[in-house]
Amino acid sequence: MLYSLELGIQLGSGSNQKTKTSKDIFSSTLVYYIFLAGMFIIGVYFLYDALQAYTAGDIEGAGLSSILGIIGIGMSIYMLNMLRKRISTQKIPKKVVTTIECKKCSLKKIRTFMKGDYVLKDVENCGKCDEPMLITAIYTEKTDKS
C-alpha cells in the first residue's frame, strides 16, 4: 500500500493519470456525485414544471419542460454509469515494470519499477558479462491478483 502511494506521487499527474492516489480518486468522485445529483434534481424539477404546465393547459410549455427534464435525468444516469466504469478500472492496481537490457549480450531482465528509473539509464552490471545494463522500457501492467 505504501509502495503504491509513493509510486502515485512519483509519477505525478503528468505522465500517467491512472496512477492516482486513492485520496485523489475519492475527492474527484465526490465532486462528480454532487454534480450528478444537481443535474438529477434539475431534471426532476423540469418534469415537475412540465406537469404543472400541463395541468394549467400549457401543452407547449409542458412538452419543452419534459424534454429538458428527461435530458437532465438521462444525462445524470448516463454519467453515473460512466463513473462506475471509471472506478472499476481504477480499482485494479497497475504494476509498473522496468525492462533492462545488456548492451553487449542483450540479456533481458524485467524488474519492478524503482524510484529514479528512466529509459536509457545505465543500471547495474550484467550478471553474464559484467557490462553495464540499460533501461530499455518502463511500462505498466495489470496485476494478476484478483
In the complex, which residues of this chain contact Zn ion (CB under 5 A)?
102, 104-105, 107, 126, 128-129, 131
Shortest Å, Cβ 77 to Zn ion: 58
Shortest Å, Cβ 126 to Zn ion: 3
Cell numbers that stand for 144 in this block: 494478476
Shortest Å, Cβ 103 to Zn ion: 7
Closer CB to Zn ion, 85 or 104, in the complex: 104
Q: Nearest Cα to 90, choosing from 6, 2, 28, 132?
A: 28
Closer CB to Zn ion, 6 or 124, in the complex: 124
Q: Give the Cα separation of 29 and 54 in Å (integer).
A: 37
CB 121 within 8 A of CB 138: no
Contacts of 92 (CB under 8 A, 6+ apart): 142, 143
Closer CB to Zn ion, 36 or 126, in the complex: 126
Cell numbers that stand for 135 in this block: 533501461
Helix H segments across 12-122?
A: 22-55, 59-90
Shortest Å, Cβ 137 to Zn ion: 17
Closer CB to Zn ion, 56 or 129, in the complex: 129
